[in-house]
């Protein structure tokens, strides 16, 4: 019997022997009827269905692969050394979805779709403030300086950026919210994307500000006033932990933890995988021409060196994705934004199959609202009247020269992803000509000699 078989039968045993309540909850989330394309796709989207006959799009669920929870997770080391491979290196058996994406690739939409899953615990861009903290403090010759990471647990950590990123992600994945940097907790985005976090942040903000001030003072203090400061900090931290208690419980009782981030490199993800056996990774990417034109529409006009840098990051991440696919089959899926926009139902179903969640009616309704919404939102909004149109809108106002330059810069990625170079301006503007070959990118990547 292989390990996964053993694991799943052990899980089943636990389930059957376990509480009825647990079983009911499990049933609600995990047990899913096999679903074919035709029985659930709403009428408005029937046009999508015939296109989506690729491979295993209609394959059946394998509910035994997920939701074998051992919660709550109790004994976890959050030290940066904890990723060293050891004999027994599992940090948590929780079900996890990690959305690894890039700016303007539809990751907010995908995150919101997964947030809609009942009892999912969703965290939006947790690394945003950590990144700016390091950017603020690591300037000039201090490129790799370690930075004081202020948290509401009693541990003071002086960490370099990679360790800070690693420790933040692990804190979320183990529901140790008190081990998150103060600034992560007060990031206004949590409240925007997660109602329950709003209360926690509101409750904790005062003490977090206090804690920040006290910790700064502490750095400059010695002697007797130090002990008093430490005591005050512990009081503030204690109050912060109380504010987080409810959120922490939601996290521990959730059936799936979802993180969406544009700030996590695939190299770090590869290091996380052995520690989180029930983690699934979605690598979300997009036609670079559309991505950079969309950056411009939000007011950020990247120069070609920034574009080259991003395409290089993408290319490294694709190469590591290939290695993950080799080493850990069924752990990583590459999703193209265009697929999500043009075939939202089929693609979301594919994603839900992959992570082992039921593609419920609730999710389908949410999707229909999001992808063919009546209101057309701002650049940061995810409400779109017609998502197919949105996906290719960039072709209307990118300059032909820019399109050609980006094609040249990102050529290596584009080949495996099926994005076609533009040869003439007419071709760029003529929307009835596709600039993408629909292919199974995973297969293309496996066959590719470039990666
Ligand atoms: C793409 O190919 C991979 C590897 O052969 C396969 O596992 C996957 O199911 C395919 N995806 C689709 C949508 O057919
Ligand atoms: C984890 O558990 C072990 C053994 O029960 C204990 O020695 C260790 O201190 C615990 N670690 C933490 C971080 O609680
Ligand atoms: C995860 O599951 C494995 C196998 O079921 C078990 O041996 C291990 O103790 C669990 N680890 C944690 C951290 O729950
Ligand atoms: C940054 O510093 C840490 C130790 O503080 C070291 O392990 C790491 O390799 C350094 N990274 C770079 C990019 O120099
Ligand atoms: C922090 O220290 C205080 C006492 O100094 C203790 O009561 C509290 O449990 C500690 N908290 C953690 C998370 O270790
Ligand atoms: C306290 O710290 C200051 C520098 O911040 C130092 O000059 C002074 O010697 C220290 N005093 C003691 C008693 O350690
Ligand atoms: C591109 O066109 C859209 C409307 O179609 C507009 O909102 C956007 O500002 C334009 N972007 C640039 C950079 O001109
Ligand atoms: C779509 O969203 C609107 C506004 O949020 C809501 O009133 C409506 O019920 C939603 N429709 C569906 C089908 O979910
Ligand atoms: C969305 O736009 C595409 C391309 O312009 C068009 O083919 C399609 O019919 C539109 N879909 C809806 C639902 O309006
Ligand atoms: C757009 O492309 C289609 C398909 O090749 C072609 O029939 C049509 O004439 C083109 N339209 C323009 C305006 O070039």
Task: Enumerate the domain spans of the chain.
Answer: 3-119+255-447
Ligand 8 neighbour 44 (Cβ under 6 A):
no
The DSSP code for 59 is P
Tokens of 81: 């050394």
Within 13 A of 261's CA, how many CA atoms are on the CB side?
Answer: 23
User: From the CA of 424, which ligand is nearest?
Assistant: 10
Strand partners, 284: 335
Ligand 2: nearest atom to the Cα of 77: 13
Residue nearest to atom 3 of ligand 2 (CA): 75
Spatial separation of the C-alpha atoms in residues 162 and 263, rounded to whole Å? 11
Helix (H, G, I), strand (E, B) or coil at 147: strand
CA of 341 to the centre of ligand 6 (A): 61
pLDDT of 243 above 50: yes
Asked if CATH classification 2.40.50.140 holds for the domain at 3-119+255-447, the reply, yes or no, is: no
pLDDT: is 341 or 138 the higher one? 341
pLDDT band at 105 (very low <50, low <70, confident <90, very high): very high
Residue found under tokens 């420790």: 167
CA of 279 to the centre of ligand 10 (A): 45
Q: Per-residue pLDDT tens for 80-93?
A: 333 333 447 999 99
User: From the CA of 13, which ligand is nearest?
Assistant: 3
Ligand 8 neighbour 42 (Cβ under 6 A):
no
Ligand 4: nearest atom to the Cα of 144: 1
Q: Per-residue pLDDT tens for 292-309?
A: 998 988 888 888 999 999
pTM, rounded to two decimals: 0.77
Ligand 3 neighbour 10 (Cβ under 6 A):
yes
CA of 169 to the centre of ligand 8 (A): 33
Summary count for the chain: helices (H), strands (E): 22, 7
Q: What are phi and psi of 450, to 5 degrees?
A: -75, -25
Ligand 1 neighbour 56 (Cβ under 6 A):
yes
pLDDT band at 20 (very low <50, low <70, confident <90, very high): very low
Ligand 10 neighbour 298 (Cβ under 6 A):
no
């Amino acid at each position: 019997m292989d390990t996964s078989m053993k694991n799943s039968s052990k899980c089943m045993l636990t389930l059957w022997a376990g509480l009825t309540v647990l079983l009911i909850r499990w049933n609600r989330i995990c047990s899913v009827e096999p679903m074919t394309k035709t029985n659930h796709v709403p009428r408005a989207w029937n046009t999508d269905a015939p296109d989506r006959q690729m491979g295993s799009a209609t394959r059946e669920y394998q509910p035994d692969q997920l939701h074998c929870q051992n919660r709550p997770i109790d004994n976890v080391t959050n030290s940066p050394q904890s990723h060293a491979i050891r004999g027994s290196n599992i940090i948590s058996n929780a079900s996890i979805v990690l959305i690894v994406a890039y700016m303007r690739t539809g990751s907010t939409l995908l995150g919101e779709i997964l947030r809609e899953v009942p009892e999912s615990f969703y965290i939006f861009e947790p690394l945003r403030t950590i990144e700016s903290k390091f950017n603020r403090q690591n300037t000039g010759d201090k490129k790799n300086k370690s930075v004081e990471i202020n948290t509401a647990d009693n541990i003071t950590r002086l960490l370099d950026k990679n360790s800070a990123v690693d420790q933040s992600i692990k804190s979320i994945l183990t529901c140790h919210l008190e081990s998150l940097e103060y600034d992560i907790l007060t990031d206004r985005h949590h409240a925007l994307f997660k109602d329950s976090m709003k209360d926690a942040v509101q409750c904790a903000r005062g003490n977090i500000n206090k804690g920040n001030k006290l910790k700064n003072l502490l750095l400059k203090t010695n002697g007797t006033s130090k002990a008093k400061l430490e005591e005050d900090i512990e009081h503030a931290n204690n109050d912060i932990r109380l504010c987080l208690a409810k959120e922490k419980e939601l996290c521990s009782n959730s059936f799936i933890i979802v993180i969406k981030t544009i700030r996590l490199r695939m190299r770090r993800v590869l290091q996380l995988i052995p520690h989180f056996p029930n983690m699934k990774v979605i690598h979300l990417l997009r036609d670079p021409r559309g991505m950079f034109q969309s950056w411009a529409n939000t007011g950020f006009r990247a120069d070609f060196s920034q574009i080259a840098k991003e395409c290089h990051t993408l290319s490294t991440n694709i190469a590591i994705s290939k290695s993950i696919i080799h080493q850990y089959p069924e752990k990583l899926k590459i999703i193209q934004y265009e697929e999500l926009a043009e075939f939202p139902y089929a693609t979301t179903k594919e994603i839900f199959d992959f992570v082992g969640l039921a593609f419920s009616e609730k999710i389908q309704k949410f999707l229909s609202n999001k992808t063919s919404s009546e209101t057309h939102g701002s650049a940061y909004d995810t409400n779109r009247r017609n998502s197919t149109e949105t996906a290719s809108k960039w072709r209307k106002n990118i300059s032909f020269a820019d399109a050609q330059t980006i094609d040249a810069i990102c050529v290596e990625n584009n080949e495996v992803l099926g994005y076609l170079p533009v040869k003439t301006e007419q071709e760029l503007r003529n929307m009835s000509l596709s600039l993408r070959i629909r292919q199974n990118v995973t297969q293309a990547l496996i066959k590719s000699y470039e990666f």
